[in-house]
Structure 1
Amino acid sequence: MRIQILLQVIMMLFFHSSSGTKISYNVQSYGAKPDEKTDSTKAFMNAWAAACASIKPVMIYVPQGRYLIGSVAFWGQYCKNKATTIKIEGTLVAPSDYRVIGNTGNWIKFERVNGLKISGGTFDGQGAGLWACKTSDKSCPPGATTLAFYNSNNIVISGLTSLNSQMFHVVIDGCQNTKLQKMKISASASSPNTDGIHIEGSSGVTILKTVIGTGDDCVSIGPGTSNVWIENVSCGPGHGISIGSLGWSMQEPGVQNVTVKTTTFRGTQNGLRIKTWARPSNGFVKDVVFQHSVMVNARYPILIDQEYCPDQKNCPGQVSGVKIRDVTYQDIHGTSASQVALKLACSKANPCQGIRLEDVNLTFKNQQAQALCSNAVGTSYGVNKPESCL
């Protein structure tokens, strides 16, 4: 009997404490089942509530196994601590019926959290059914983002894998100081609207050492975003790394201070892109640096598109009001899948200013590639192939 009691005490200490003063909460202790069949949503919410009630740093632990999770929101405004770690060794699985979460907007959402770290784990959005529906039926639900962060500060995501999201894989919206590193994001090249990482209305976002292959932008940067650092990112398949679309609204915050360096694009639709609607707007893009990028048969390695007007709806006959200035392309090299390897199609009303091309070397099927510029003003340095059109 004494041995049994001692073992129980040891198990309690193992599950509810860790090194230092950090307290640990195992989701299985709250009823989560790693069988992919039992709905573990409530168990995860209860573990979060218990962690939030602690005044000390805490860890929520997800052991190996596959956990079925429905749409869930984790709110942080009532948390007593500002140091929560979620350590995931298992896989979180969305319902196989895409309609269960398809109209919720987000599968797993964190809002108003501060000091959150997510380490490891796989998130399986099971989005293939919805993708197939969208190709044949316009009545399909829009789909849910796999992992969304709203109005949150000091977030670190490391070693996470996101598979087959219904829509965006990760959304950072209204956040300050967010770091994403060593992630793997994957979906079919034909999957619609499955952006890898979407950033909007946020400042201080860093993306490092991440591999993204999806059906839309690997990284998309929306209005009101500043101080972004993207480094050592591999993209493909996908639509590249895009600033935009911008300029849908007349009153729209701009994008500034973005650095994208040491990136590789393999078979992507675009490489480095800035895209704005052909509509009146007071938005802007400024102080952007693209450097040290390798293109492997990217269709449009370098693209500024201020003539974006899909299906000629809501914008025909108009021009973009978004002002683009001080954009640098440095050491961009590799192969283009189209002969026009560099295209700067800027606004007639607001020509691009301060464009800088330095040591751009792009080829097309061992031929001379082409550069096309319209309404773009800037300078060239070093050796540029194709020859600069500025």
Structure 2
Amino acid sequence: MSMGLRLPNMRGIARRASAKAVFLLGFALLSCVAQSTSRGHLYRAGARRSVLDATNRKVFDVTAFGAKTEDQMKGGGNKANVVGKLSVQELPGGGIPGLPGGSAEESFADEKIDESGPDETGAGESPEEENGSAFIRTWVAACRGNYSGPTKVVIPKGTFLIGPVVFQGPCNSSTEPIVVEVQGYVKASTDLSQYSSPEWFTFELVDGLIITGDGTFDGQGQNVWKTRDNKESSSASNAPSSLKFNKVNNTLIEGITSLNSKFFHTHMFGCKNVTMSNVHLIAPGDSPNTDGLHISTSSQIKVLNSVMATGDDCVSIGQGSHDITVKNVTCGPGHGISIGSLGKYADELSVSQIYVSNCTFRNTTNGARIKTWAGESAGEATGIIYEDIIMDQVQNPIIIDQNYGAKKKVKKNIFGNKKMVVSGNKKRVRAGLGKKVGAGLKKKVGAGKKKALQGGKKKSEAAGPPSGPASKWKISDVHFRNIRGTSARNVAVSLACSSAKPCEGVELTDINFSYQGTSTKSTALTSECFNAKITSKGVQNPPLCR
């Protein structure tokens, strides 16, 4: 007899209780797994961490540590209150390059803001140096202070003029990366005497770092570019890179913009498991040595979904680099995405597992490029893939150059065993060699022997075979796949390998270019190759030399 009462649905309650238990057990297991796995899972690229990261982080704002905007400097207003009373020389875990740091045990993160007035230890410093000291104080408090929980350094909105700084780890937190959120516009000092080493912002010895935000680093490199005689001059090599990552692991760099770097926009050395995503690296096409990203002695590096317009390589992958992925990058202007240059210096390390895909090149001098120097340095570049790439008016869409750095000598060489294939019916004996070289051509390569070359090509467009000392770098297992678009020169594919170490395992699959240059005499395309063992599949336009 129910007496108007409804008994509870015991089966439903049991099901809900069981489901709740399973959920709680699963959540607990997930939490345990998250805590026990490698920290690398924290740094995968995805949605903007600055927006979605719900971690309760303690915020360290650079203005609370004495940093001033340009407006505040010009206005001569009261200096911001400063945490602590340490001079730059005493700062642990960070400093202006060239100055000694303090011991790791020093800490002042929990000191309260000094209400008595500004810190006078920076007296005599330039405004850029004062801001540098303030930025370093902020980093030390967040990274090396007494607080061991999750922290965030904030560069708020406003324009900050700052000299060179070093942000050094290791940081105290063992489970969460330290975050640097860039909201403002950060300008580099133009006084090169302030740079005792060739870096502006340096992050080093940090395991777990997120650099995020929609702010900008402006290297203000215009005056430096003007003072350089050429791209190989000493003034070029001594100019500071904007962002240097030295032995930094498990890192995400996202959202930021770098403008007008004096040298490289970003440089990774000795890094592991770093993702760079959704960044803009911008400088004029004629700005020397402004590589978007240079990678060396690093592994597990991903460069994703970014725009690079520079005066040099958009991405250059140097010695000792392994397991590098570049995907969905728009490059141009610039010199392309390059492996190398390799072999310029002794004892350089080999390069392997390089994957470049879904990239677009617009008005670049090179597209997919591998470049090595001739000389005594030996090494190997292997396991390289360029695929699913669009070229838009690129001067050298596909190029292997093992005579990099000796272009002027190449023009004077006899061609030796050069091979060249011409698309279309037009062929022309190579002209413009000069009377002295041309007169001896038949004696050098055999009476009456002619080297076919696409009609209408300027002599500077032919790379020519490597000459002089041969490169001792071995290039192998290289794949160019599904690369299409327009070439601004008649030589769309140039594979100039070393006579001492011929290229092996070079595959070209579905290569399809059309000519879109300035020549009115011919629109035919050619390929050229020297000392290369090549296989091909699918469409080949231009026809492939063998």
| TM-score, normalized by the shorter chain, greater than 0.5 | yes
Largest Rg, 1 or 2: 2
Counterpart in the other structure of 2:539: 383
Matching residue within 274, 290, 293 for 1:194:
290
Q: After the TM superposition, which of the residue ranges 130-139 and 107-116 deviates more from structure 2?
A: 130-139
> Which amino acid in the other structure matches residue 119 of structure 1?
T
Distance (Å, rounded) in 2 between the aligned partners of 1:198 and 1:147: 11
Q: Deviations over 1:268-301 (max 9, x none)?
A: 1100100000113321111111001111111100
1:59-98 equivalent positions in 2, closer than 5 A: 59-77=152-170, 79-81=172-174, 83-98=177-192
Residues 217 and 49 (structure 1), Cα distance of their counterparts in 2 relative to 1, 3 Å cut: same
Matching residue within 386, 393, 410 for 1:297:
393
1:280 touches 1:322 (CA, 8 Å); kept in 2? no
Distance (Å, rounded) in 2 between the aligned partners of 1:63 and 1:229: 32
Counterpart in the other structure of 1:364: 515
Matching residue within 206, 209, 213 for 1:113:
206
2:348 touches 2:379 (CA, 8 Å); kept in 1? yes
1:217 touches 1:242 (CA, 8 Å); kept in 2? yes
> Which amino acid in the other structure matches residue 545 of structure 2?
C
Matching residue within 265, 284, 287 for 1:169:
265
Quick check: 1:35 aligned with 2:70? yes
Counterpart in the other structure of 2:135: 44
Quick check: 1:263 aligned with 2:369? no
Distance (Å, rounded) in 2 between the aligned partners of 1:107 and 1:357: 41
Which protein has the bigger helix share? 2
2:403 touches 2:467 (CA, 8 Å); kept in 1? no
2:292 touches 2:308 (CA, 8 Å); kept in 1? yes
Matching residue within 340, 344, 348 for 2:495:
344
Distance (Å, rounded) in 1 between the aligned partners of 2:510 and 2:230: 45
> Which amino acid in the other structure matches residue 71 of structure 1?
P
Distance (Å, rounded) in 2 between the aligned partners of 1:97 and 1:252: 33
1:98 touches 1:127 (CA, 8 Å); kept in 2? no
Counterpart in the other structure of 2:417: none
Matching residue within 113, 124, 129 for 2:223:
129
Q: Deviations over 1:156-194 (max 9, x none)?
A: 100010000000000000000010000001111111111
Q: Deviations over 1:188-216 (max 9, x none)?
A: 11111111100000000000011001111
Residues 74 and 193 (structure 1), Cα distance of their counterparts in 2 relative to 1, 3 Å cut: same
> Which amino acid in the other structure matches residue 50 of structure 1?
A
Q: Deviations over 1:59-106 (max 9, x none)?
A: 1111100111111111103544451001111011111334433x5200
Counterpart in the other structure of 2:60: 25
Residues 80 and 238 (structure 1), Cα distance of their counterparts in 2 relative to 1, 3 Å cut: same
Distance (Å, rounded) in 1 between the aligned partners of 2:505 and 2:322: 19
SS across alignment from 2:493: strand
Counterpart in the other structure of 1:4: none
Q: Deviations over 1:355-386 (max 9, x none)?
A: 11000001213833110011110210011100
2:361 touches 2:367 (CA, 8 Å); kept in 1? yes
Distance (Å, rounded) in 2 between the aligned partners of 1:19 and 1:375: 56
> Which amino acid in the other structure matches residue 304 of structure 2?
L
> Which amino acid in the other structure matches residue 314 of structure 2?
C
Distance (Å, rounded) in 2 between the aligned partners of 1:191 and 1:287: 31
Q: Deviations over 1:19-69 (max 9, x none)?
A: 544211111111111226443111111111111123111111111001111
Quick check: 1:150 aligned with 2:301? no
Distance (Å, rounded) in 1 between the aligned partners of 2:539 and 2:318: 32
Which protein has the bigger strand share? 1
Counterpart in the other structure of 1:249: 345
1:180 touches 1:207 (CA, 8 Å); kept in 2? yes
SS across alignment from 2:403: strand
CA shift for structure 1 position 136: 8.9
1:98 touches 1:129 (CA, 8 Å); kept in 2? no
> Which amino acid in the other structure matches residue 195 of structure 1?
D
1:332 touches 1:361 (CA, 8 Å); kept in 2? yes
SS across alignment from 2:170: coil
Instruction: Report the number of matched residues.
Output: 371
2:55 touches 2:150 (CA, 8 Å); kept in 1? no
Quick check: 1:218 aligned with 2:311? no
1:276-295 equivalent positions in 2, closer than 5 A: 276-295=372-391
Counterpart in the other structure of 1:5: none
Distance (Å, rounded) in 2 between the aligned partners of 1:140 and 1:319: 29
CA shift for structure 1 position 310: 3.4
Counterpart in the other structure of 2:462: none
Distance (Å, rounded) in 2 between the aligned partners of 1:354 and 1:136: 36
2:150 touches 2:173 (CA, 8 Å); kept in 1? no
Matching residue within 177, 181, 201 for 2:277:
181
> Which amino acid in the other structure matches residue 506 of structure 2?
I
Distance (Å, rounded) in 2 between the aligned partners of 1:273 and 1:302: 6
Distance (Å, rounded) in 2 between the aligned partners of 1:373 and 1:131: 35
SS across alignment from 1:382: strand
Distance (Å, rounded) in 2 between the aligned partners of 1:150 and 1:140: 22
Counterpart in the other structure of 2:103: none
Q: After the TM superposition, which of the residue ranges 29-38 and 224-233 deviates more from structure 2?
A: 29-38
Unaligned stretches of 5+ residues in structure 1: 1-17
1:118 touches 1:158 (CA, 8 Å); kept in 2? yes
